Structure formats: structure tokens, C-alpha cells
């Protein structure tokens, strides 16, 4: 089952839908106005407007997940209303097929709102200035996602400088471009995060998950798509392999043997800036019935925006790491999108997941999964 191209989206970036119908706001506040800004609870009429955004979304169920997550996990205040609206809209934009993950998944939107709400007044004023200069809801949503991924990773001045540089690159870009260049799923043949060494599938998966969480990192990788040992992705893969006891061997080099590195450590390093931690679970030791039961829990996690690392093994010494990045339905049946670090994505069924046969390669069966704790 092949994923359709992004060009088959139901609502294109150039269509009349300009974004979420959030209340108009004045120009970006100064530090002084933010300092005295009353953080009142969202009034009922604005909550109703957010529900309207859900109903108008490409994938209403995705936007509803985001809205439910925001309202149940955050103290939403009136000053955050415009950002909530943009992120609820972005969660329901879809990347290619109907009911696929949006430009900014709910979990990333949650981190963004949490980061903005915790900012000091001067920093908040600078961030609001950058957001106010964005030319589309898509730009604002991606900048917010970058804030959620990097807010605790920079000193305030460096954060603003990084956001300004990022915002300048994405300014004026349409929704399809933003999906292609600031998200990490390989649905159009992009090679920004592809595996560059014989044993770097683990680092590649970790980097993909890190880039999916951080649009600034993903954009850097997408802008450096030269495959080979000199590319940014290859450099990162090599560094992660060697730092964790692996050996980087280029494809076609049969003079020496590569060596992999434990993905648990790699995941921690790749997503540490976002505050996410991963835990592993043996899939091979579970009976098929229990695996089937766990699929419902995995669906909830994935639809919220959690990406899951997978290891398929042959029981002898050969294995391959991949990423479980989305869950959808085709003709009423649940399917799972898996990204191969060697390139491309594929869809597999519930039956494939339960049987541990996910078409990872000859003789390989799914043995272990790592998911956000």
C-alpha cells in the first residue's frame, strides 16, 4: 500500500481557507504590555470558536485530539487563544492521505503552548513580535513548534536569534512546502534524514524522531540533501555511532565490518532537548493476543504525535531499526505508517503488527519497541 503524494491533499495551501478563525489581535505586545496582561480563562465564545476550527479541519479527529489535549493538560488563558487556534488547526491539516498527521501534531502543540505560557514578559514580547510577522497560519504554527522544541535549549537571546533566522527562511512559503521541509516523514522521496552507513539505521531513526520534534533541525537536514559521508545527516549519524560504541562503514565498503549502537541511548540524545524520554518493551515476548490489545494504546500515543522506534531482528545477528510514525484508517481498517531509514514509508496492517511481520526485511521479525515514557 503506497502513500499518496502530498499533492493529493484535500485542502491546498493556495486555497481560500486561510487558517483558523481566531479573533483578530492588535500588533505584537511590548514587554510592558505583556507584563500587565491579564491571564483570564478562555471565555465560552472562544472555546466555541475553537470547536468550529475542529469542525472545519481537513482531519477533524486530529484537531479534536489536539483541542482535548490542550484543554485537559494546560491552563488555557485568553492571551493564548490565538496560539491555541493556530495549533488546533495545524493538527488537522494532514500531510498526504486523509486522516494522516498534520503539520504540527498535538504533542508538539502542547509543548509549544507550555513553553510560551512559561516565558518571562520580555522574552514573550520578542516571541510575539516574531509570530506577528508570520505571513500565514502555517508559518506561525511551525514557529510555535520550534519554540516548544527549543525553548529550554537556548539562552533567550540565542533563542530569539535562532527563531528570527528560521522565520526568515520559511516566510512566504505555502503549506505544502512547510510540510515537506519542516517535518521528517519521507513521503516525497526526501533524503534529508536517510541512512548513510551500513549500520546507522539506529542513529538515523533517532535523528528522524529528533527532526520530527524540531522543525529547525529538520529544515537544516532538508537543506543539506547531499547523500554521502560529507552531508549533515551522515555527519550526525557517524558522530552518534562512534560516541556510542558503533563503527561507521559507508555503503559499498566491504573492507571492514560496521557495528551498530544501542538505540535507547541514541533516542535519549536525539530528543533530549524536548524533554522526552523513551522506554523499551519486548514485542517478541508478548503473545499475539496481548500485542493486539496494546495496539489501541499505541494508536492513542501515535495520534497524539508520539513517534515509536522499532527493531526487527532475525535472531542471529542481523537487524534493522525503523520508526512507527503514524496511524490511520483505509476502508475502515486501521493501518500503521512505518518509515524506513533507508528511504520511504510503507503502511502495514493490525495483523502485521500483531504477528510481528512488518516487512522490515527477509527473515526479520519485530522484536522490540521504544516509546515515550
Q: Within this chain, do residues 320 and 218 fall inside the same structural domain, yes or no?
A: yes
User: What CA–CA distances, in Å, run from 94 to 5, 97, 103, 108, 239?
Assistant: 12, 7, 7, 15, 34
Question: Is residue 195 a part of any domain in this protein?
Answer: no
Q: Where are the alpha helices (DSSP H) in the chain?
A: 31-35, 44-56, 60-73, 81-91, 106-117, 121-132, 137-150, 156-170, 175-182, 201-213, 215-222, 232-243, 263-271, 288-304, 350-355
Q: Within this chain, do residues 13 and 95 fall inside the same structural domain, yes or no?
A: yes
pLDDT > 90: percent of the chain: 57
pTM exceeds 0.75 for this model: yes
**Can you tell me the distance from the alpha carbon of 260 to that of 187, in angstroms, rounded to the nearest whole number?**
26
Strands across the sheet containing 278-282: 278-282, 365-372, 308-313, 319-330, 333-339, 345-349
Q: Within this chain, do residues 205 and 348 fall inside the same structural domain, yes or no?
A: yes
Query: What is the model's pLDDT at position 223?
Result: 84
For residue 18, pLDDT over 70 is answered with no
Give the residue from 181, 209, 225 where a domain finishes.
181
Nearest to 52 by CA among 93, 9, 13, 88: 88
* Summary mean pLDDT of the chain: 83
Query: 346 lies in which domain range?
Result: 201-372
Question: Torsions phi, psi of 333, nearest 5?
Answer: -110, 140
Q: Within this chain, do residues 110 and 205 fall inside the same structural domain, yes or no?
A: no
**Can you tell me the distance from the alpha carbon of 196 to that of 228, in angstroms, rounded to the nearest whole number?**
6
Average of per-residue pLDDT across 103-110: 96
Question: Is residue 116 a part of any domain in this protein?
Answer: yes
- What CATH number is associated with residue 209? 3.90.70
Query: What is the model's pLDDT at position 127?
Result: 97
Q: Within this chain, do residues 20 and 121 fall inside the same structural domain, yes or no?
A: yes
Identify the residue whose cell numbers are 524536548.
274
Q: Within this chain, do residues 206 and 173 fall inside the same structural domain, yes or no?
A: no
Q: What is the pLDDT of residues 298-310, one digit of tens each?
A: 999 999 999 999 9
Q: What is the pLDDT of residues 187-236, one digit of tens each?
A: 665 555 788 898 899 999 999 999 999 999 999 988 887 444 458 888 88
Average of per-residue pLDDT across 11-37: 37
Nearest to 103 by CA among 71, 68, 57: 57
Q: Within this chain, do residues 107 and 11 fall inside the same structural domain, yes or no?
A: yes
Of residues 98 and 91, the one with the higher pLDDT is: 91
Q: Which of 17-26, 116-125, 256-265, 274-283 has the lowest mean pLDDT?
A: 17-26
Amino acid at each position: 500500500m503506497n502513500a499518496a503524494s502530498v499533492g493529493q491533499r484535500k485542502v491546498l495551501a493556495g486555497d481560500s481557507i486561510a487558517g483558523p478563525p481566531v479573533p483578530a489581535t492588535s500588533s505584537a505586545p511590548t514587554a510592558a504590555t505583556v507584563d500587565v496582561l491579564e491571564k483570564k480563562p478562555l471565555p465560552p465564545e472562544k472555546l466555541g470558536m475553537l470547536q468550529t476550527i475542529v469542525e472545519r479541519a481537513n482531519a477533524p479527529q486530529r484537531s479534536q485530539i489536539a483541542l482535548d489535549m490542550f484543554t485537559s493538560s494546560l491552563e488555557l488563558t485568553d492571551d493564548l487563544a490565538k496560539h491555541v487556534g493556530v495549533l488546533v488547526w495545524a493538527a488537522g491539516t494532514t500531510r498526504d492521505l486523509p486522516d494522516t498527521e498534520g503539520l504540527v501534531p498535538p504533542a508538539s502543540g502542547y509543548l509549544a503552548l507550555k513553553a510560551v505560557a512559561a516565558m518571562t514578559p520580555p522574552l514573550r514580547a520578542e516571541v510575539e513580535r516574531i509570530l506577528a510577522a508570520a505571513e500565514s497560519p502555517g508559518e506561525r504554527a511551525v514557529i510555535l513548534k520550534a519554540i516548544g522544541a527549543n525553548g529550554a535549549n537556548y539562552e533567550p537571546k540565542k533563542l530569539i536569534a535562532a527563531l528570527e533566522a528560521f522565520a526568515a527562511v520559511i516566510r512566504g512559503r505555502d503549506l505544502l512546502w512547510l510540510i515537506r521541509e519542516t517535518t521528517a516523514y519521507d513521503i516525497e522521496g526526501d533524503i534529508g534524514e536517510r541512512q548513510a552507513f551500513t549500520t546507522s539505521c539506529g542513529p538515523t531513526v533517532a535523528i528522524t524522531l529528533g527532526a520530527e520534534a524540531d522543525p529547525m533541525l529538520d529544515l537544516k537536514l532538508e537543506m543539506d540533501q547531499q547523500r554521502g559521508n560529507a552531508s549533515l545527516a551522515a555527519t550526525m549519524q557517524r558522530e552518534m555511532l562512534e560516541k556510542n560504541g558503533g563503527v561507521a562503514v559507508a555503503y559499498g565498503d566491504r573492507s571492514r565490518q560496521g557495528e551498530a549502537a544501542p538505540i535507547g541511548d541514541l533516542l535519549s540524545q536525539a530528543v533530549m532537548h524536548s524533554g522526552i524520554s523513551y522506554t523499551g518493551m519486548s514485542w517478541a515476548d508478548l503473545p499475539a493476543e496481548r500485542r493486539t490489545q496494546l495496539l489501541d494504546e499505541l494508536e492513542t500515543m501515535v495520534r497524539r504525535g508520539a513517534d515509536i522506534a522499532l527493531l526487527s531482528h532475525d535472531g542471529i545477528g542481523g537487524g534493522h531499526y525503523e520508526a512507527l510514525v503514524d496511524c490511520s484508517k483505509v476502508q475502515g481498517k486501521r493501518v500503521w505508517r512505518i518509515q524506513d531509514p533507508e528511504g520511504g514509508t510503507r503502511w502495514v496492517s493490525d495483523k502485521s503488527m500483531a504477528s510481528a511481520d512488518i516487512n522490515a526485511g527477509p527473515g526479520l521479525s519485530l522484536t522490540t519497541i521504544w516509546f515515550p515514557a
